[in-house]
Chains A and B, each alone.
Chain A
C-alpha cells in the first residue's frame, strides 16, 4: 500500500487524537512542574490519578537540585542459631570489573533507593531475604542486623585536592573511602521467614 493509497483520517478522529495528545503531554508537564510543589491539590490529584493508572508518571531527580554526594551500600551481620556470625554485603559495583558491574547495576539502584527511603518495612523484607540466602541446614539464622554504610564523596574543588594536582579518584573513592555504618534494622528471624 503506497502512501497516497492510505485511508484518510476523519476530522472526528483527528480531534480525538489531538485532544489526547494535548491532555497527555499537558499532564506530564504539569506533573513534572507540580512535583516541585505549589500546585492546587485537586488538579494534581486528577493528573496523578491518570499518570499512575497508566504508569506514565516520571521522576527526574538524579542531577538536580542536589546531586548525590555520598557513596552508599547495604550490608548485614547475621547471627546463627549455634552462635556463629557471618557478614553479608549486597553486590558493590566498585568491587567489580565493568562487565560484572553492568549485570549487577540494579543492585546498586536498590541500595541507593533503600538508603533514600529508610523505610523499616522494606528493610525487614531485605533482612528476611538475607536470612533465606544465608540459611544453613541445622543452623538457621536467628538475627539479621542490616547496616547502611555511607562515605562522603570528596568535592572535586576542595583546596587540598585542587592543589595536589593529579588526583587518583579511583583510589580516593574505592580504596581510601571510610564508610560509617548505621543500623537500618535489627531483625529477629522467625522460622516462617525461612520458608
Chain B
C-alpha cells in the first residue's frame, strides 16, 4: 500500500522538468487553433441561429445540462467575434501569454462552440475538450515573464510551468 501511495505521490507531485508540460501546452494550443481555423469558413452555418441548428431547437431536443456563450450570442456577426476571441485566446495559450487566464478562457470558448452544435463533432473534439479542461490548472504567469519567454523561443518551455497539478504558481 505504501508503495502505491509513494508511486502516486511521485507521479503527481514530484517536481518535473517543465519542458514536457510546455511542449504539451504548445501542442494542445496548436491543435485547438487548427481545429477552429478549419471551422472558420462555416462558423455561422454551424453555430449561429442563421445556420443549420437553432438554439430554439436545442432547447426542445437536448434534455441535459449544457452551457454555452452562444446560447446568448446567436447572430452571425456575434458568433464570428466569439470565434475571433477563441483564436486570440488560443494563440495566447500557445505562446504562454497569461497562461492561466488564457487556458480557462480557451476552455470556456471551446466548450461554448462544442455545446452549441454537437452534430458536427467527432471523438477528437472530446479529447481536445478533456485536454483543455486539465490545462486550466496551469499556474499563473506574470506578463513580464511572458516577455522573457518571447525573447528566446526555447524559454517558452520555462521551468516555472512545472507541475500543473500541484504547483502553487511561480513565486519569484
Q: Which residues of A contact B (CB under 8 A)?
A: 1-4, 6-7, 9, 13-14, 17-18, 21, 48-49, 52-60, 62, 102-103, 106-107, 109-110, 113-114, 117, 119, 121-122, 124-126, 129, 132
Q: Given A49-B65, A58-B126, A113-B119, does the pair A129, B45 have CB atoms closer than 8 Å?
A: yes
Contact B60 A17 (CB under 8 A): no
Residue B51 at the chain A interface, CB threshold 8 Å: yes
Q: Which residues of B contact A (CB under 8 A)?
A: 8-9, 12-13, 15-17, 38-39, 41-42, 45-46, 50-54, 57, 60-61, 64-67, 111, 114-115, 118-123, 126, 129-130, 133, 159-160, 162-163, 165-168, 170-172
State the CA gap A124–B80 with chains docked (Å): 24
Q: Given A55-B111, A106-B42, does the pair A125, B53 have CB atoms closer than 8 Å?
A: yes
Contact B162 A6 (CB under 8 A): yes
State the CA gap A71–B50 with chains docked (Å): 28
Contact B13 A125 (CB under 8 A): no
Contact B119 A56 (CB under 8 A): no
Contact A9 B166 (CB under 8 A): yes
Residues of A within 8 A of B172 (CB): 1
* Nearest 5 CB-CB pairings of A with B: A113-B119, A55-B111, A3-B15, A106-B120, A52-B65
Contact B159 A17 (CB under 8 A): no
Contact B50 A132 (CB under 8 A): yes
